[in-house]
Amino acid sequence: MKLLLINPRFPESFWSMKWAIETFAPRVRSVNPPLGLATLAALSPDDWDVEIVDENVEPVPLDTDADIVGVCGMGVQFERQKELLGYYRSSGKFVVSGGSYASLCPEKYETLVDTVVSGEAEHTWPAFCRDFAAGTPGRLYREGNTVSLAASPPPRFDLLDPSKYAWMTMQFSRGCPFRCEFCDIIVMFGRRPRTKPLEQIGRELDALRALEVRNVFFVDDNLIGNPKAAKQLLRYLIEYQRIHDYRFRFGTEASLNMAYDPELLALFREARFAWVFIGIESPDEGSLKEAGKLQNLRQDMMASVREIYRHGIDVTAGFIVGFDNDTTDVFDKQYEFVVEAGIRRAMIGLLVAMEKTPLYERLQNEGRLVPDRISSDNSKLTTNVIPVGMTNDQMITGYRRLYHRLQEYPAIATRIRNKNRYLRNPVSGDARPLREVLGIVGRLVRHVVGQAGLPGLYHMVRSIPLLKPELIPQVLVDWIHELSTRDYIQRHFAQESDRDSQLARSHLARIRESLGQYLQRGRLRVALDHERRAASELRFCMSGRLDPAFFRRAAQQLETMLRDTKASLLLQIEEFDARELHLLKDMLHRLGRYGDRIRIAADDASRRIIEIDSSVFTLVMTPIGESSTLRRAV
């Protein structure tokens, strides 16, 4: 039996770290691998042939001889998950959906798939595999309880390519004892933390060691949900690290109460945890009370963050704006807290109500959900929550401005300096050769000077702690992360101004002029769509036989437009001639660096010839036979 498991492409967000990865780690394609699929592979029968395709690092196959195609997904991946499920189903495959969104909302998949696997999969997936092999697969396999993690086998790390990820992942526990109103974790995993046996953690680390992995992210939503078990884990890790020459560097997520326990903090540091992600959410006590985030209120939050720094652990943190308690002054409060606490990579999101959470239920009862808006991505300029303390426009404007302020050079430098006052002896990555370090510094400096001139460089230099040289590697990492967030904000949070759309129109005119003969012959259709997107989208439809001059001019014009404007591109390809493949590939190669702004749609036959890398471009996966509808798009 052949099983193909697919992790759909994520929409780009702060988490993607696109600029940092492309500039400093070009072999890496994504931050984390799909751990859930590696676990599912381990739960599959031994004699099944399992393949994992992560669309974030490699293209999905258009043709597969798999008997089953399983597509997982979180809420943010739902649109792509739907598209992939539709495509493989239309090609006659048996398709199965799973992942966290199918666990929360299995009803959404009823008409999309042959089987839905919902909830923790340790028992339901083997049951599905048995039934499928017997020719009697069910429609829905739903785990109604929480499972013991002793039943969770070591993931099939061997099916992943660690060199493509910044951090490999592991899981120790599921569940969190707290009651944050907006949280879907406790809806899925419950409030009683369950943990894996320590010997299993050892086996998983052995497997990662064999793959020469060094950076490991414990994906637990709250690693210290059960503090006693967390301490046992940390002691185990300390011993493991001692025996194996301290080869791993860890990161994880935990609640802020970790700062209240000095023994716990010391164990984290000794086990070589370099950073922890904490849900701080808001410096405003009223907002925290409203959200039920009471664990953050037991001690002064600023003091807690600094206490963690003092133990050599860096803090990245999540923040939310848009609570009922929030008014327009919340943006200044958030800004001041983030800067003063020196939080790196502050992930600030709008409050969104995820389905099945207590928040969703409450707002639904109050009639305060925007109808028909699914909202599971809190890193965009939209939410399904109707705010009460300010208007929606005030909230979006304040949110956008907050991010822009935080990513200004003086604010980045001040944050780093504020952190460095407290950070002691952090865990650093592997020592790199001097030449490599100088190369990184050179690229950083060039970028800063190119973007912000000498004033930008001044702020970078003033953040370097010359009296604490042991912190300098961390400062460089901070700058790389901050500039990556800045790059994302500039590309995604900027409003298209009249000037921008005017610029896009003048590029359209140039394209028409340069490629006029192909327009006249009906080989090309172009149009600009301002309607449906935050920025204009150029629709560029190529049809039938074209010549080298066309591809050369088109590549140049499109590249210039993508470089000089915020516009995105829909590239439609119809009746493609295979003899022109090398010309099209050259053109796509030039456009690849703007891949996140490019959607490519092609009819069935053309799609097969071209073999578009769907991890670079968004390949529109219309069901087989439906591609002709694309003709109407331009």
Instruction: Output the smallest distance, CB 180 to ligand SF4, in A.
Output: 3
Which of 181-189, 309-317, 359-367, 397-405 is the region at the interface with ligand SF4 (rule: CB under 6 A)? Answer: 181-189
Helix/strand/coil percentages in the chain, nearest 5: 50, 15, 35
Residue among 191 and 247 whose Cβ is closer to ligand SF4 = 191
Instruction: Output the smallest distance, CB 307 to ligand SF4, in A.
Output: 18
Using CB under 6 A as the binding criterion, the count of chain residues that bind ligand SF4 stands at: 10
Task: Please check whether residue 444 is in contact with residue 478, taking contact to mean a CB–CB distance below 8 angstroms.
Answer: no
Mask 118-157, x = binds ligand SF4 (CB under 6 A)? ----------------------------------------
Euclidean distance between the first and the last CA atom of the chain, given in angstroms as a whole number? 43
Residue among 281 and 478 whose Cβ is closer to ligand SF4 = 281
Instruction: Output the smallest distance, CB 42 to ligand SF4, in A.
Output: 25
Q: Which helix (H) or strand (E) holds 455?
A: helix 434-462
Instruction: Output the smallest distance, CB 592 to ligand SF4, in A.
Output: 37
3-class SS of residue 463: coil
Query: Could you give the angle at the alpha carbon of 459 between the alpha carbons of 456 and 464, nearest 5°?
Result: 130
Residue among 133 and 187 whose Cβ is closer to ligand SF4 = 187
DSSP state of 270: H
Instruction: Output the smallest distance, CB 175 to ligand SF4, in A.
Output: 9
Of residues 8, 227, 279, 456, which one binds ligand SF4 by CB under 6 A? 279
DSSP labels, 511-548 = HHHHTHHHHHTTSEEEEEE-SSSSS-EEEEEEES---H
Distance CA 153, CA 150 (A): 8
Q: Which residue has the tokens 């036959």?
A: 605
Residue among 202 and 358 whose Cβ is closer to ligand SF4 = 358
Q: Does 280 bind ligand SF4 (CB under 6 A)?
A: no
Instruction: Output the smallest distance, CB 620 to ligand SF4, in A.
Output: 35
Residue among 326 and 580 whose Cβ is closer to ligand SF4 = 326
Instruction: Output the smallest distance, CB 222 to ligand SF4, in A.
Output: 5
Instruction: Output the smallest distance, CB 225 to ligand SF4, in A.
Output: 7
Q: Does 193 bind ligand SF4 (CB under 6 A)?
A: no
Residue among 221 and 482 whose Cβ is closer to ligand SF4 = 221
Residue among 178 and 403 whose Cβ is closer to ligand SF4 = 178
Q: Does 324 bind ligand SF4 (CB under 6 A)?
A: no
Of residues 105, 183, 330, 569, which one binds ligand SF4 by CB under 6 A? 183
Residue among 54 and 221 whose Cβ is closer to ligand SF4 = 221
Task: Please check whether residue 503 is in contact with residue 565, taking contact to mean a CB–CB distance below 8 angstroms.
Answer: yes
Q: Among residue numbers 464 through 483, which ones bind ligand SF4 (CB under 6 A)?
A: none
Instruction: Output the smallest distance, CB 256 to ligand SF4, in A.
Output: 9
Residue among 258 and 526 whose Cβ is closer to ligand SF4 = 258
- Pairing of the two strands 273-281 and 314-321: parallel
Candidates 223, 241, 265; CA nearest to 425 is 265
Instruction: Output the smallest distance, CB 186 to ligand SF4, in A.
Output: 5
Q: Which residue has the tokens 């780009």?
A: 12
Other CB atoms within 10 A of residue 76 CB: 22
Instruction: Output the smallest distance, CB 185 to ligand SF4, in A.
Output: 4
Q: Does 222 bind ligand SF4 (CB under 6 A)?
A: yes
Of residues 43, 57, 186, 339, which one binds ligand SF4 by CB under 6 A? 186
Q: Among residue numbers 160 through 179, which ones bind ligand SF4 (CB under 6 A)?
A: 176, 178
List the structure tokens of 22: 């492309």
Instruction: Output the smallest distance, CB 24 to ligand SF4, in A.
Output: 30
3-class SS of residue 114: coil
Residue among 180 and 612 whose Cβ is closer to ligand SF4 = 180
Q: Find the farthest-apart pair of alpha carbons in the chain and give their distance in angstroms, rounded.
A: 75
Residue among 50 and 264 whose Cβ is closer to ligand SF4 = 264
Instruction: Output the smallest distance, CB 358 to ligand SF4, in A.
Output: 10
Candidates 161, 173, 206, 153; CA nearest to 28 is 161
**What torsion do the CA atoms of 321, 322, 324, 327 make, to the nearest 10 degrees?**
80
Residue among 162 and 190 whose Cβ is closer to ligand SF4 = 190
Q: Does 180 bind ligand SF4 (CB under 6 A)?
A: yes
Of residues 54, 221, 482, 580, which one binds ligand SF4 by CB under 6 A? 221
Which of 183-191, 440-448, 517-525, 606-614 is the region at the interface with ligand SF4 (rule: CB under 6 A)? Answer: 183-191
Distance CA 121, CA 42 (A): 11
Distance CA 308, CA 311 (A): 5
Distance CA 115, CA 441 (A): 51
Residue among 72 and 176 whose Cβ is closer to ligand SF4 = 176
Of residues 81, 255, 357, 474, which one binds ligand SF4 by CB under 6 A? 255
Which of 182-190, 384-392, 486-494, 599-607 is the region at the interface with ligand SF4 (rule: CB under 6 A)? Answer: 182-190
Residue among 254 and 313 whose Cβ is closer to ligand SF4 = 254
Q: Does 185 bind ligand SF4 (CB under 6 A)?
A: yes
Q: Is 485 exposed, middle or buried (0-12, 13-18, 19+ CB in 10 A)?
A: buried
Q: Which residue has the tokens 């939410």?
A: 383
- Pairing of the two strands 194-195 and 140-142: unpaired
C-alpha count within 13 angstroms, C-beta hemisphere, residue 98: 26
Instruction: Output the smallest distance, CB 291 to ligand SF4, in A.
Output: 8
Q: What separation in angstroms does the CA of 618 have from each of 142, 327, 537?
A: 32, 38, 14
DSSP labels, 324-350 = TT--TTHHHHHHHHHHHHT-EEEEEEE
Q: Sign of dihedral through CA atoms 396, 399, 401, 403?
A: negative
DSSP labels, 88-110 = HHHTT-EEEE-SHHHHH-GGGGT
Binding region for ligand SF4 (CB under 6 A): 176, 178, 180, 183, 185-186, 221-222, 255, 279
